[in-house]
Each structure stands twice: as structure tokens, then as C-alpha cells.
Amino acid sequence: MTSTFPDISISTERLVLRSFEEPDIEAFAEMMNDELVTAWTSVPHPYTKDDARTWITELAPAERTEGRGIVFAVTEFLTQRLVGVVHLRNTDWRVRSSEIAYVVAPWARGEGYASEAALATAQWLFHDQKFGRLELRTAADNTASQQVAQKIGCISEGVLRGAWIARTRTGTGEWVEVRTDVIVWSLLPEDLAGVTDPGGFTSFSDWN
């Protein structure tokens, strides 16, 4: 049984999802230093170019080769500018289930890029890889991520109480950690039938 994802790229109407490359390091580091990324993720802060280099050249490729998931750099089709990242992780090959996470650069927010990339990934996962379940976890106060979940057809399954550590700024500008609830969402292949496609995947190809 296959236990790793293929090294592929996915194209939508506006985006290309592909493997990260070393030229992405600077733009990726800048994106990961954004305040909303710091608040809702567990990435180091500040996020250095060395952090970005380690992720792009070592950690992200290992996600795929070791069978844990796959990491896509999300880029604009026309400009090739780095829009964000989509990460499939905690993959269970027996159950054919994976968890999706995503980040969008500050300049690209409000354009529907997160939902377009997430939906394209879900369609590829279900149609090409024959998976049966996709999970998404959002912090209780992360309304933007919850809107993406709803837009691509996810169903809310419940709340994990106190299951995440978010970060917030104090009045003096320092970051402090705060415990928060997590909403668990799921997407099954049949859930996609009622989704208005915001540019889901149009093609995919072997990246190599």
C-alpha cells in the first residue's frame, strides 16, 4: 500500500501549489513573521531566514518522504509570488485520513486564496489519492480560518476544550501565551457535492 504522497504540483484558476524551493526562503520568512501567524500557530518568533531554510530544505521534504503528509508552497499563477502554504499532516494511511493547515501572506488575504488552495488540495486528496476524510482544527477565536472551513464545506464536529496555546500581545507589546479551545472540523468526499467551487484544482502533474 502506498504510504507517501507523490511529489506533484496542483494548478487552479489563479494558483499553483508546488514544492518549496530555496528561492522561497526570504518570502516565506517574511510571511511567517506576520502577527496573525504568530498568534495562531506555534512557529518560532521571530521567524528567521535560518528557520525558513531549515523548513524548506529539510523539514517540509521529510513530511512527504517519511509518509506524514505533504507541504505545498502556494503561488500566484500569473506572478509566481508566494501566497501561502498548505500543509497536510498527521496522515493515517490505514484510515486514509489527513489534517490540513494553511497560512496566507498578509498582502494576499481577502482574495479567497486560502479557500481556493484548501479546496484544490481536498479535491486532489479525495479524487486522486482516494482518501476518505480530511480534518481541520481552528482556534476558537480564529474566525478567518473558520470561514475558510465553512466555505470549502467542512462540518463542525465539536470543541476540544483548552487544547491549544495561542499567543497575544500585552499592552507593552510583549507576546504571551494563552490557552484556548479548538474547533474540530471534517470534510468527507460527499461534502464537496454542495460546494460552490472557488477555483478548485484544474490539473496536477509530477513535480519531478
Helices (H), the chain: 25-32, 35-40, 49-54, 60-65, 113-127, 143-151
CB 12 within 8 A of CB 200: yes
pTM above 0.85, yes or no: yes
Residue pLDDT tens, the chain, 208 long: 559 999 999 999 999 999 999 999 999 999 999 999 999 999 999 999 999 999 999 999 999 999 999 999 999 999 999 999 999 999 999 999 999 999 999 999 999 999 999 999 999 999 999 999 999 999 999 999 999 999 999 999 999 999 999 999 999 989 999 999 999 999 999 999 877 655 555 555 664 4
Nearest to 66 by CA among 43, 98, 89, 94: 89
CB 208 within 8 A of CB 9: no
